[in-house]
Each structure stands twice: as C-alpha cells, then as structure tokens.
Amino acid sequence: MTMTIAPGTRLGPYEITTKLGEGGMGEVYRATDSNLRREVAIKVLPAAFTEDKERLARFEREAQLLAQLNHPNIAQIYGLEKSGETRALVMELVEGPTLDERLASGSFSITESLSIALQLALALEEAHEKGIVHRDLKPQNIKASGEGKVKVLDFGLAKAMDPTAGSVASAADFARSPTIMNSPTLTAAHGTQLGVILGTAAYMAPEQARGAAVDKRADIWAFGVVLFEMISGRRLFEGELVTDVLANVLKSEVDFGALPPDAPPALRTLLRRCLARNPKNRMRDIGDARLVLEELAAGKTEEPAPIAPASALAPPRSFRAQLLPWALAAFAALAATFFAVAHLRAPRVEPARLIRFQLAPPESSTPTRRGNSFELSPDGRYLALTADGELWVRALDSVASQRIAGIQDATYPFWSPDAAWIGFFADGQLKRVPRDGGQAQKICDAVDGRGATWGPDGSIVYSDAQRSRGLWRVGAQGGTPKSVTQTPAGLLNHVHRYPQFLPDGRSFLFLYLAASPEVAGTYVGNLDGSAPVRVLASADQARFAPVGPDSASGYLLFRRESTLLAQAFDSARRQTSGEPTVVAEGVGTAVNTGSGAFALSANGILAWSSAESSRGELVWFDRSGKRLAAVNSEMRELQGLALAHGDRRLAYGTGEPSDIWLQSLPAGEPSRFTFGPDPGWAYPVWSPDGNDLAYTTWDLAGLPKYEIRRRRADRAGAEETLIQSHEALYPWDWTPGGQALLYGEGERELWLLPLTGERKPRLFLPANGKQVYAQFSPDGRLLAYAGIVEGRSEVLVTTVPPSGALWQISTAGGAMPRWRRDGRELYFRTTGGTLMAVALGTGSGADAIDERGAPQALFAGIPSSGNTPIFTYSPADDGQRFLVAASRDAASSPITVAVNWQTALANPNAKPDAP
C-alpha cells in the first residue's frame, strides 16, 4: 500500500498541496515545483512496487523512454523523484474533466467526436513513431476540456508497471495485471474498484485479453472503441463481471447499427477497420485513421457507403424493382465500353520502371566485422546499418543517416514487422531499440548471434552459435527461448543460420551450412518444430521476395559468385520453378558471413553492396591519438594482432587468405608464416621470450576440428599440436614464465594447458557468461578479461589462481584489456571505441588494483571486432605508443537501391531510370 502524504510534505523540490486521486499505481497529488514555480502532478508509487528492485529498474528505464514524448496532445512526464524510500513520477498537471466524466452525460455530436478523435490519433501517431504503445487507452486516461483540448495520460505505463513484463501473461495473471486490476489511470478518490475493472477491460484488444503479445494495433482497437462510444453514447462491451466483459470483447459482434444515422460512411468504414478482431486484418497505422479524420473534418465525405447491417436496411422492394437499377447500370457500362473501344484511343497505363540509385554509408565509418551491415525495413522506407559497431538508420528519402545513440558493437540488424523497432545482437544479448532511438532493451541472452527475423505475432527466430547449432524462438518482449530447429546429433559441422519469416508468419527460410553438398542449402522451417524442407541447393543465404505484400508466391533471391539471381518460388507449397534469372551483377559478400550482401523489403525494393571487405592498415599512434607511422598498408580481414616484447616483431592474422604473417619493425616487409587456405590459421600469441608463436587452426571439412598449435618464430621445426576440440579455440596468453598457455574453448570457459609434463588441461575459470580477451598481468598474479555485467561487456580483474575476488575496471562498457610491460597501467577499449588507461598502485597483485586510479581516456578510434573476439590494438612496452588496426577507407562501399527490380526479370535489357 501507499502511505498517504499530508499537504505541505516535500519530495525534493516539490511541495504537496492536495490529493487528487488514487489508483492501482499509487496515489496522485497536486504539487508545486519550487524551482520552476509551476503546478505538477505527482504519482507516488506503492511501497510493494518500489521494494521490487528489478521491477523498479524496469519502470525507470521505461519512464526514461516515455519522457521523450513531447506533443501537445500528450501529458508529459517531467521526471522521477526519489526521497528516502519514496519513489514518485512527476508529470504535467492537466486540468479539466476526463472523457469518461464527459461521456456520463451522453454522446457527442459527430463534429465534436471527430475533433477529439483527430487529436487522439495525432497523439498515438507521435508515440507509435517512437516505438511506444499506450496499452491502456480508455476515456479515463483522456482529458477532454469543454473548449475542445485533448490530452492523453499515462502513455506506456501499463507496460512499465507490469510485474510480468517480458513474459506472456495467462488468464490467471489478470488479477495482478496493471491493465485489469491496477489501472495506471488517475481515478477519483471516491471511485470504485469495480468501475476501474470494467472501464479497463472494456477497451482491451482481443489479443490483449487473451494474454498475447501486443503492439500498436492494440491501441488502434482501443481508439476504435473510444470513438464508437463518443458517437453512439453507449459502451461497446459491457458485463456484470470482468469475465463477462472479456468474453464480449473476444466474441460478441460489434453492433454498427447503434451508430447514429448521420454518421458518414467513411467514419463507419474507419470503425470497421479499427475494430477487426484479427489484428492482421485491423488498420496497421493510426496515421491512416488520422488522414480519414482530417478529410471528414474538412467536409470531404465522397466515400460511398458500405453495405449497411441488416438492422439498418430499408423495407424490401420487389425483386423487379431491385433488379432494374442493376440492369440499367450494366447496360450503361457496356455501352460506354463499346463507345470507348470504337471511337476513342484508350490511354496507355505506364508500366513500372526500374529505378536505381546509390546511398553513401555513414560518414567516416567502416563495416562491422561480422554480419550483414544493412537491412531494409519491411515497408521499404528505411535502411538499418551497422558501421564500426554503431547502429544507424537511413530513411530512403533522406540525405543522411541518423546514429542511434548508446549502441556499440551491434551486429545483424533486423526489423519488426511495423518498422517501429530494430533488433540486433550486442554484448552477448539479443536486443531491440526503437527506430527513432531510445533505450535498448534486452530480449534474451545470445552470446554469438548469427541472424534473426521478427514475425507478425511477435515471435523472433534467431541463431546463437554459442548455444547450439539450430535456431531458437523467443518473444519480442523476452522470455525463455525454445528450440525450433535441431541439427543431427554428432555432426558438429551442421549449423543453421540467417532465418527470414515467410508471409504466413509461421514458416521461415534459413541457411543450412554443412560440409556435404547433398545436405547444405536453403530450407523452410516451422515454428511448430516440424521437419524442415530443403528448397534450394545454394550454399549462399537466400531471401524471399513476395510478388505482393501478402503473397505466398514470389522469388527466392540468392547469389552465385558475384551474381544475384532470382528463382520463382511458391512459399505455401515449398516449391521452386523455372530457371534462375539474373537480377544484378557485382554483389559482394556480407562481411564475415560468406553470404551475399543484399537486403529486400516486402514491397519491391532491393539493396546490395559490392564491397567484399574493407581495407585496413596497421598504424602507430601516440597517447594523444596523433598518427605516427604506418607499418602495414595492405591488410584485409584482421584475424588477430600481437606484438612481441621489445616491439621489434609483429604477428597478425588475415582472412584473405586465412593465414598468419610476421613482420619485423619498424620497417620490415610482411612474411607469410602459414600457408592457406585449408586449414585456416588465426589468433597469434607470442611466447614471453619472443621465440614461439601459439595460434589456432581449423578444418571444417567433415567433422569440424579446431587446434591450438605452436611453432618457433624462426620456422625451425614443425608445427606442434597442443590441444584439439570440436569447439572454437582461442589462445589468449602465456603465463609470464611460459610454462603454460591460457585458452578459451568457445567464449565461456577459460582453461590452462601446462606445456611440460603430462600436459593435461585444467579448468581455470568456469563459465559465467561470455569470458574473452583474457590477459595475465606481467607478474602473473592477476588476470584481466572481458565478461558480461548486467548485460554489458565490462573489463574485470581477478586473482591468479582465481579466489573469487573480482574488480570491475570499466564503468560504462569495455573489452580488449592489455597490460603495460611493467604492470603499472592497464588499457582497454570502451564500447564506443575509445582507448582508456588505468594507472595502478605501487604494490603488487590485489594491492595494485585496490590503489588504482580512475580510467582516463587516451584517444578514440580503436576498431570494433564485432562478435569475433580479437584484439584490434596492442600497446608498446613503455605504453607511449599503440599499434592500431585502423581503417584505410574513409567509408565502406555505397549501397545500391533498386525500386521495381522485378521489371528486370521480364526485360533483362531494361535501363534503370534515375530517381
């Protein structure tokens, strides 16, 4: 319960003056802001709510997002106030009656109803464009003054207060749901709980009443219910009990005959579209309703009336009387047609023309190292791009891309069906963020994501290479992932990647990677977990392009070498037909996926890039970020970077081909140390004396095999295999004396392999989320590594051997820790790419860490490694210089966009028009 606060009590700068009301979310007071001298409304949250730390933290994050709403028809949130154990929400004080109070006197005129509805639509449109759904729209949450001014209250707070947010509620959850028993609506102090219950349930969308995930279409349903009530003067769904109301919401037919006879036909049609029970058939965008209302308010009523319900039909006429008008109309139509054919030349309908244009990627950016770097929204209006780990959005009718703040190391962007949200992988998690920016939200853990797709029912199907080789399903709001595809037991080289939902919303394409060409290819899987069906033998990612937005027929697009092809495909029958047709030439490879760099929208827009990979160079920078000298200017696809002690020798891995190279510094020529392409080599690590190199090899033919090998840097003697595994192996560091090698099997556990005696590896640090970039301190008493803290990569330090003691070094995200040679400084990369330095104390081991200073920024520009845990920089022994794998290109290759690309299939010689 919330303790009543007496007038005169102060909460920070706010002085309580009077109580306004109370509801399930707490008590509401009028207060005076002593700083700005304005009246505000303060909602004091219940103690049971504030004592739940997880729920309170979620509420605070949601409130931060809601505070971004700034619209004349939306009551604004000013902030959160903390005073002792009390938590309060500070809001705009909106005077006047609620719409519910005004409706108690009966219906409104059509003119006033249109005015109020138009303002409601404008408010919802503003919120929906920012990815915010009200979830509890009803007359009690709408202030409607007699002068015609409308303000919507409590946007999104139903979600913020939900104790079960992130999971799908059942009917049993209704008793504790904020949208049933604990309405966030401001109710009168004398209001009954029964009124709150019925008032809320009566406006819930059918999918919301069932406990399913909801999106903006739930608000459109509630908007329709409110509009119906304003015009008709009666509540659309009623009942004595909550269950009766919900049953009517789910089953009873909408009585459109209750609308007044003077309701315009366009208004009736609008209500029918808003009140479609199946959300797939409901109006998709409140902006469409706003357009209809603006035309009606302007007096445009030319839309023909739909067939009226039976209750509104005029008395029946004779069959003959009814047939005559139709016969006359048919005769007139035939006559007009004959006249047009005989005497007039029919106007030519201009066919759709192929249009191509190019978009420049974000300025001064480089592609991320893993994952497609761009993705078209389903409506073809936006492009989501990842550039050097940052997430950008480009409207196709805009001249520039907009960066979404606060997101780093993002990979594999994908869109929600309504294009309001962008999903992506970062920090070992699957996340989502509103298209226009805001707080990123965790969906679930996904340590090594390899593609995802968002279905119309809110399901997300994704790949997490660290968790399993099949695909998983999770709700967009979060929850426990469930397996939807499995690979054969024992065949570790069989993996599923890059899913894409098909139009039915239940099945999806995915790429099946396998060494056997008889198995590899594009498959169709199903949410019910039934056996996938192979539809294409291509070993490249395929995407489906429907002929129309909701069509099951269309084309599969895929790449062979650098040619993009299209083949007719019936997604309902799971069958291809005909021969592939060329769509475009010069289509490159998506960075580090091996698949074509192209994207499709559902409405005939195609985008592709010709970039195979970005060029890079190894450059010395001083502590201020001043460029000193380049040591290598022709490097591609970095696969590890290491300096030998003394800064005289460099080892690095490169992906073209996958080999390790050595180079003497300061001006030696690179020399190949291994010879590809099979197997691959990467992740070199120098021994403390600089005589040996440890590195990873892999062979994916048949059963995949990873090995860590060792060889003398002077190439004397043969390679020596140290450890083998079917999981990826990462050699991180040698112990200071060189007696053992620290390595990771996968990206979770850390193991120590003795290099003398029995050589039996032992577990050094058990799995605790993602644990990578492990580095011993020079004295061997500490270990720095990157781990996951509250869903974000942070630099941590523990003792050697691990004792349970742990220090968090970074404070706002960090990775790639490296020590100065004397152990008096520790460096790391922030998630934004800034190199940080932490000065350590004069003691040793834990004493040095306890005496450390605050992290200090040196310079920006340390590249991201995407999902691949490799170092992209290395400090010199004295810490005065840093070797950085910098981008040589000012920007990645432009993206070509083709509108009406299908026209090229019928006419391969079609010339594209300029936009």
Active site residues: 136
The encoded tokens of residue 762 equal 């032992």
d(CA 146, CA 112): 10
In DSSP notation, 486-502 reads: -PPTT-TT-EEEEEEE-
Give me the half-sphere count of Cα atoms (radius 13 Å) on the Cβ side of residue 909. Answer: 0
- Cβ atoms of 123 and 150 closer than 8 Å: yes
Query: At 464, is the secondary structure helix, strand, or coil?
Result: strand
Q: Tokens representing 908?
A: 């391969």
Nearest CA to 658 among 412, 467, 868?
A: 868
Q: Do residues 123 and 71 touch, judged by C-beta distance below 8 A? A: yes
Q: In what order do the strands lie in the sheet with 873-875?
A: 627-636, 615-622, 881-887, 873-875
Of the candidates 729, 712, 730, which has an alpha carbon nearest to the alpha carbon of residue 775?
A: 730
Alpha-carbon distance of 474 to 457, in angstroms, equals 11
86 CB-near residues (< 8 Å, 6+ apart): 11, 44, 50
Output the six-digit token pair for 273. Answer: 């579209």
Nearest one of 575, 560, 583 to 502, comparing CA atoms: 575
- Contact call for residues 732 and 685 (beta carbons, < 8 A): yes
Residue with tokens 């005073």: 83
State the alpha helices, DSSP H only, in 107-165.
110-129, 157-161
Rounded to 5°, angle at Cα 814 from 808 and 817? 80
Angle between helices 216-232 and 286-297 (to 10 degrees): 30
3-state SS assignment for residue 46: coil
- Cβ-Cβ contacts under 8 Å for 473 (sequence gap 6 or more): 459, 460, 461, 481, 482, 483, 484, 527
Residue 887 structure tokens: 């981008």
Residue 662: in which H helix or E strand, if any?
A: strand 658-664
Q: What share of the chain is helix, strand, coil (3-state, %, to 5)?
A: 15, 35, 45
Taking the CA atoms of 695, 696, 699 and 703 in sequence, report the sign of the dihedral they define. Answer: positive
Distances (CA, A) of 898 to 414, 561, 604: 20, 20, 8
Which pairs with CB-CB distance under 8 Å and at least 24 residues apart come from 275-282?
Answer: 275/221, 275/224, 275/225, 275/228, 277/206, 277/250, 279/205, 279/207, 279/215, 279/217, 279/218, 279/221, 280/456, 282/217, 282/220, 282/221
DSSP state of 892: P
For the CA atoms of 132, 135, 141, 144, the dihedral, rounded to the nearest 10 degrees, stands at 60
CA 708/CA 728 separation, integer angstroms: 10
Which residues lie across from 248 on neighbouring strands?
none
**Cα separation, 384 vs 89, whole angstroms:** 34
What is the rounded distance in angstroms from the CA atom of residue 731 to the CA atom of residue 357? Answer: 45
For residue 219, what are its two tokens?
A: 């608000």
